[in-house]
Amino acid sequence: MKVVVDFDVCQSNALCMEIAPEVFEVREDGLLYLLDEHPGEELRARVEEAVDTCPTQAISIEG
């Protein structure tokens, strides 16, 4: 699986980070960082929850 973030749409509200902190991080500069573009399958359910929770639909999964 590959996690894709549209940073032009992302508002860095950190909901994804709360769900999957191994994959997403909002730093002190207020920006979202993708920590793991290819997380393991054991994180798929949480990444899918982050996709569904994102209010701007900036996150998607390929594969």
Q: Are the C-beta atoms of 27 and 14 separated by less than 8 Å?
A: no
> What is the C-alpha to C-alpha distance for residues 36 and 57, in angstroms, rounded to an integer?
18
Q: Are the C-beta atoms of 9 and 56 separated by less than 8 Å?
A: yes
**What's the predicted TM-score (pTM) here?**
0.93
pLDDT value of position 19: 98
> Is 2-62 assigned to CATH 3.90.1170.50?
no
E-strand stretches of the chain = 2-5, 24-26, 32-34, 59-62
Query: Structural domain boundaries of the chain?
Result: 2-62
pLDDT along the chain (63 residues), means of 10: 97 97 97 97 98 98 94
pLDDT value of position 48: 98
> Side chain identity at 8, as an amino acid letter?
D
pLDDT value of position 12: 96
SS3 26: strand
